[in-house]
Amino acid sequence: MCGPAGRGVREPRPEGGGETRAQAALTDPVRPGPTWAGAVVYALGQVNFLFDSSTKPYATADDLSAAFGVAKSTLGAKAKQVRDLTKMDYGTPEFLREDIVDSSPMTWFIEVDGLIVDARELPPQVQAQAFDLGVIPYIPALGRDGTAELLSQARRS
């Protein structure tokens, strides 16, 4: 039994294959399933140092493979596709945990008049300009909450 455009959850196989609706949904190539979900988690884990045993949280690729029921090599290959498609890397703040963004100098290095500088050391007005240009994730002088408040006030005006 199929829904619109041939997509839908399959009924169990009449020949006694034993495939349930849930199993069919998880393995249907038309629907995203554990492979892509695992690949997204794997990709996010890679850029957030999930596989580094000196960090918390910590997990191994084998742990993710077991959790999603997908081969480790498949997760790794699909994670590469996810990273490439989303342009995800260690310097992309929107994919990083807050603690990593805050502590990573790569997030804060910007070019000002041809010099590479740490935006956290610049005057607040220059930080605000860098934030407005989308170069840094928030205004360090105001912190995350202060930047959010500033944005909310600007929207109200």
17 and 40 assigned to the same domain: yes
118 and 88 assigned to the same domain: no
Of 45, 60, 95, at which residue does a domain stop? 95
45 and 14 assigned to the same domain: yes
SS3 of the chain: helix, strand, coil, percent, to 5: 55, 5, 40
Please list the residues that pair with 115 across neighbouring strands: 112
* Total structural domains within the chain: 2
10-residue stretch averages of pLDDT, the chain, 157 residues long: 39 47 52 86 95 95 95 96 92 88 89 94 94 92 90 84
Listed in sequence order, the residues at least 6 apart from 98 whose beta carbon sits closer than 8 Å to its beta carbon are 144
73 and 131 assigned to the same domain: no
Q: What is the pLDDT of residue 10?
A: 39
Please list the residues that pair with 111 across neighbouring strands: 116
88 and 133 assigned to the same domain: no
90 and 59 assigned to the same domain: yes
Residue 150: domain span: 104-156
pTM here?
A: 0.66
Q: What is the pLDDT of residue 19?
A: 52
78 and 111 assigned to the same domain: no
Q: What is the pLDDT of residue 116?
A: 95
Buried b (16+ CB within 10 A) or exposed e, 121-139: ebeeebbbbbbeeebbbbb
